Structure 1
Amino acid sequence: MSDVPVIGVLALQGDVREHLAALAAAGADARPVRRRHELDAVDGLVIPGGESTTISKLVDIFELREPIDKRIAAGMPVYGSCAGMIMLAAEVLDGRADQRGFDGIAMTVRRNAFGRQVDSFEASVEIAGVDGEPFHAVFIRAPWVERVGPDVEVLGRVTEGPAAGRVVAVRQGNLVATSFHPELTGDRRLHRYFVDLVRAA
């Protein structure tokens, strides 16, 4: 791999363009991924925010589930934001019975947790391993993490408001997930963190 990693954004539904722009600004060769050959060409993958049940269905329709499962098992770095966090979780509460993710991170997430509790909102979140001031995090009908396994590192929690203390950023090996949408702000630090993770892998 060159010093410019090729990072795909799963381009089935959700805020794909915003992630592509953020990854490019963070130093990656960013490409949309809809087909198996496009997945085969990337060093890492972003699963964007959107609607997790829709993404789950489209992954099957586009015959990407098994290829993504295999790449995750082989160590490909993946970052999931919002719906992407749900897709990476081992267990989803309040999801649909037919909803299937990639079972990558040993965590339990509650779907639309912030949506029912406090609606869409913005809050400051400090992320372990990312220098500088806290993130201005945007939450849109977001999940939160209720439980994590022993191999999961908690990277960030909400520090203020009704949801204070809730886990909203995690990492397990080469897999990273956040409840919030860093691609919707001008702050590219989290995308640079992921680009560096892909480069190191």
Structure 2
Amino acid sequence: MSVGVLALQGSFNEHLAALRRLGVKGMEIRKAEQLEHVTALIIPGGESTTMAKLAEYHNLFPALRDFVKTGKPVWGTCAGLIFLANKAVGQKSGGQELVGGLDCTVHRNFFGSQLQSFETELSVPVLAAMEGGPASFRGLFIRAPAILEAGPNVEVLADYSVLKDKATSYKSSAESGEEQTVSEEKVIVAVKQGNLLGTAFHPELTADTRWHSFFLKMAGEAGDQSSSCSSMAEEDLADCQQPRPIDLPIFQ
């Protein structure tokens, strides 16, 4: 198994370190031709506009889109999630180019500026069922995006409740004598759709490697399915649907 990590900007070194802890050597990806040598790809967190400009400069977008279309697993964290979304809102003037593939609408800076970065415990029942360990994961949100809408084929792996002020402003509520009301709004922060995985937070900045192990199993299943399908007769390909899990370390 060969896992590439897009190394234009951001936390690619932290992803490489997490892969090493699981016994997998990652490959830094900076050129389109390097994608031919990996079976899976991680697009790390960072500054999405800067990453997009560098990817455009190196003519990486066509190769990244082709990689997604091959069915090889791709995981985007934070800025990487924005890259993989079919639609992004809240962008800077002029917007940015996207790779696409995830049937989602992502808000680029949903949680605010760097000063609004935070940590929280997320409920992750699917991750815990697959990888063991606790039923929660410590999510690190750094100038993070959020998924506002997800298509019917998108599996939600984690969400987060945000307090939303229903009043137009505190001042107007006070002047009118109305009581200010606050409600909870759930936004999606982790999804899976076929060969694509997206997290709005940064698992690579924690000691918990369960998300990386989860992704490696996606890569292993894709490789097993591809190799077994290629050896089958064309009329039997329709039966090649069930992936074969591989053994990887789980969170202790």
Q: Same fold (TM over 0.5)?
A: yes
Supply the distance in 1 between the matched residues of 2:41 and 2:203 (Cα, whole angstroms). Answer: 15
Question: Which secondary structure does the structure 1 equivalent of 2:186 belong to?
Answer: coil
Is residue 88 of structure 1 aligned with residue 90 of structure 2?
A: no
The whole-number CA distance in structure 1 between the counterparts of 2:208 and 2:114 is 26
Higher normalized helix content (fraction of residues): 2
Letter in 1 for 2:96: Q
Matches within 5 A, 1:150-169: 150-158=152-160, 165-169=186-190
Superposed displacement of residue 165, structure 1: 2.6
Structure with larger RCO (C-alpha < 8 A, sep 6+): 1
Map of 1:112 onto structure 2: 109
State whether residues 114 and 143 of structure 2, in contact with CA within 8 Å, keep that contact through their aligned partners in structure 1.
no
* Cα deviations by residue, 1:141-172 (Å, 9 ceiling, x for unpaired): 00001000111111101258777632100111
Identify if the C-alpha distance between structure 1 residues 62 and 178 changes in structure 2 by more than 3 Å, giving closer, same or farther. same
Aligned identity (percent) is 42
When Rg is computed on C-alpha atoms for both structures, the one with the higher figure is 2
Contact 1:168 1:180 survives alignment (8 Å) = yes
Instruction: Give the alignment of 1:67-86 within 5 angstroms.
Output: 67-86=63-82
Counterpart CA distance in 1 for 2:138 and 2:95 is 34
Deviation at 1:116, TM superposition (A): 4.9
Give, in whole Å, the separation in 1 of the partners of 2:215 and 2:144: 20
Give TM-score scaled by structure 1 length.
0.92
Q: Please give the alpha-carbon distance, in whole angstroms, between the structure 2 residues aligned to 1:94 and 1:55.
A: 17
Report the Cα distance in structure 2 between the residues aligned to 1:22 and 1:117, rounded to whole angstroms.
Answer: 24
Structure-1 separation of matches of 2:77 and 2:114: 19
Letter in 1 for 2:219: V
1:99 to 96, 99, 111: 96
SS at match of 2:38: coil
Aligned counterparts, 1:15-164, within 5 A? 15-96=11-92, 97-116=94-113, 119-131=116-128, 132-133=133-134, 134-158=136-160
Given the superposition, is the C-alpha separation of residues 20 and 101 from structure 1 closer, same or farther in structure 2, using an over 3 Å criterion?
same
TM-score, length basis structure 2: 0.74
**Contact 1:90–1:101, Cα closer than 8 Å, also in 2:** yes
Any stretches of 5+ residues in structure 2 without a counterpart? 165-183, 223-252
Contact 1:124 1:159 in 2 (8 A): no
- The alignment's C-alpha RMSD in Å is 1.9
Q: Quick check: 1:125–1:159 contact (8 Å CA) kept in 2? A: no
1:192 to 197, 213, 216: 213
The amino acid across from 1:154 in the alignment is V
Runs of 4+ aligned structure 1 residues displaced above 3 Å come to: 159-164
Corresponding residue SS for 2:144: coil
Q: Residues of 2 paired with 1:150 and 1:164: CA distance?
A: 20
Indicate conservation of the 8 Å contact 2:2/2:26, yes or no: yes
Counterpart-to-counterpart distance in 2, 1:117 and 1:14? 14
Q: How many residue pairs get matched?
A: 197
Distance 1:13 1:99 in 2: 16
